[in-house]
Amino acid sequence: MVEALGILLLLAGIGHGQVSWHEVPRTLQVYGHALAADTGSVVVSGTVDRVGTPFTEIRLKVFRNGVPQTTLVQNLSYSGDTARFAFSKGIKAELANYRYEVHGIDGTGDSILWSADSVACGDVIVIQGQSNAEACAWVGSADTNRSPFIRVFGDGDDVLPLDTEWRIGEGDVCSEGIGGTGQWGLRLARDLVDSARIPVAIFNGAKGGEDVAFFQPNLSERTDSTTNYGRLLQRLRLSGSAPYVHALVWHQGEADAGIGTSTATYKSRFLSLRTQWLSDFPALRRIYLFQIRNGCGFAIPDVAAIQEAERELALGSDSMEIMSSSGEDHFNDCHYPYMPGYRDFGDDIFRLVERDFHGRSSLDAIDPPQVKFAEVTGTRQVTLIMSNVFDSLKWSGAADSEFVLSGTPAKFDSGSVQGNKVRLNLSAAAGGISSITYLGHEDSADPLVTNRNRMGMVHFENFPITTAWQRDSMCVAAILAANSLKVSVASVVTRNSGGRAVTLDLHSTRLSVLPADIVYMDSLKTLDLGSNGLSTLPRETNRLPPGIVVDVDSNLLCQLPDSTAAWIGKHASDALWRGAQKCATTGFRSPADVPAADLVDVRVSGREIFVQLSDQAGPVDLQVRDLRGSLVYSRHLAAGSLGIDAASWGSGLHFLSVASSSGVQVFRLPLL
């Protein structure tokens, strides 16, 4: 709210006295919007002093791209010599400029008391970290990305007083300069403007050369202007943007490598910082972490400790995602040129933001290749299995020092890729190997493995070597955990003479979701999913072994993508599997389609979910999972109704399973 500015704007109505403004739009302001809505809210409020000012009404005139849209009128009711007024008008998130005029009306005419031009509504993104988050213009210009719909409020300068003006964003200006977005910040914003067709407000609070501790807040005074955190928070609050920060991008860690910060210490300090962000930015849904690359004159093992911390942080939370930087060349051993460096950074983060918030991007090749399992697959070979089975990888070659093997004198010799697997050939037998570290090298770009978008493989340190059976068992354990099933892995798996899982029997286990982990079980011959509550299958099932036989009868597989239905048709043990689904009784329906006569009624309103049990319904167990299969909510409901607040969940499609003595009913929950 602009009211939070703590500034009382006293405007002299010409010959009419005074108006005290409590909240008004500002020229070039970008209003944020809720995730579940494509509109923001413009509030105009104030107090009229009628001494010498005989205003009888206040009017708010709204123009869109210069064309009059509406006029709101409020008659003034005085108490003593003052009268308060307040207007609230929605503003759509679109590439349009709005003008607001406040008029005072009296017996002699019409006076314009306040006006603001080029007001818009759009996304609010925070960028924070060191100099590669500042992204100053080192070599090459980002100016071709400038747009009147990319805006900045204030600046990141630590010199007071705080700047409180809205301006057009400037990419070649550092975060401390006027309108500074940073080069890749401007590119990210321009990609969003062009793709999502909405304005973007960038708040870059980065400060070069500082370790993670520098960015912590003063907990006794959160807006302390002597702290980096306090100044950024002030800018967001003064602009009214703090409640609408949906995404934050973090590029930092080189300074911590320089002082030898350990992996554990870095993680602890970052998680503390994240806790503060979540408190001050209640709508924050995604934190994107750049993994730093070797350079800046710091020892590679010290950089590896920070790289591993960033990798583990992203893996440890569904709301954090990692982006590698190893695919880009430094130009001065620490920073990047605009092309191809910072430009690619902006494009890489844009694809993730577009997928996570605007639903317009392919799922493939927009995350960097990341190791999921590492196994000894030959006398002198280690295989890295990447997490994305749809990746098409490229091998670029490496020196023997770029991988470190623990527990063996063998060294890395050569490598190749096949699908989503990386084969590392060794100089000697792999016996005794316990873990592997990917160090890379300095100076030039160091991605040994890249995907189709030239993103380098994420660095890792002391990644454990496991067996193929351990991979199978971990995948089954993940499936059981995702469904809160209290059974052992051994009770649902049959192994062959080589120790691999060949049968997975999950028949009648009240399965409501099948996580994508199933795809790593590449020895399966039989998969029994019959008599459960599955309403969909992950697209990764299409990559299971070609000869597998699947039982899906008596589920809720009623509305499936064509590719998934075709795969089931090819591998189902029952050719009439479609007719064997429970669609006619429990159905697979959106909440709006559920008739009131059902035992369970589910409605979605914004980020609120309402569950109503009929008088005939017995006790039920509720579980909500996201598309990854992660459990985000669970509760037992004995009777009556329940309201569920989904404000802290991620956006996208979720699934609510309602389990009762008569079976499992699954509802789709589209959360924006």
Strand, coil or helix: what is 434?
Answer: coil
Tell me what pLDDT residue 596 has. Answer: 34
Summarize pLDDT for 350-395 with one digit per residue, the tens: 999 999 998 775 667 899 999 999 999 989 999 999 999 998 899 8
C-alpha closest to that of 291 among 423, 406, 129 = 129
Is residue 16's pLDDT more than 80?
A: no
pLDDT bin (cut points 50, 70, 90) of residue 509 is very high
pLDDT score of 5 more than 50: no
> Residue 662's pLDDT is what?
63
Residue 655 scores a pLDDT above 60: yes
**pLDDT tens track for 234-268:** 999 999 999 999 999 999 999 999 999 999 999 99
Average pLDDT, the chain: 88
SS (H, E, C) 522-573: CCCCEEECCCCCCCCCCHHHHHCCCCCEEECCCCCCCCCCHHHHHHHHHHEC
CATH 3.50.50.60 applies to domain 2-119:
no
Contact 383, 421 (CB under 8 A): yes
Residue 635's pLDDT band (boundaries 50, 70, 90)? Answer: confident
The number of residues in the chain equals 672
Residue 586 has pLDDT above 50, yes or no: no
- Give the confidence band of 218 by pLDDT, cuts at 50, 70, 90: very high
pLDDT of residue 630: 67
What's the pLDDT at 315? 94
**Cα 467 to Cα 476: distance, rounded to the nearest angstrom:** 14
Cα(500)–Cα(484) distance, rounded to whole angstroms? 24
Assigned fold of 122-358? Rossmann fold (3.40.50)
Q: What is the pLDDT of residue 440?
A: 81
Give the confidence band of 194 by pLDDT, cuts at 50, 70, 90.
Answer: very high
591-671 CATH fold: Immunoglobulin-like (2.60.40)
Number of H helices, E strands in the chain: 9, 36
Say what the pLDDT of residue 641 is: 76
Kindly list the domain boundaries of the chain, sorted by start residue: 2-119, 122-358, 371-466, 469-580, 591-671
* Banded pLDDT at 594 (limits 50, 70, 90): very low
Same fold flag, 122-358 and 591-671: no
pLDDT at position 10, please? 33
CATH of 469-580, one of 3.80.10.10, 3.40.50.10680, 3.40.309.10, 3.90.1150.10: 3.80.10.10
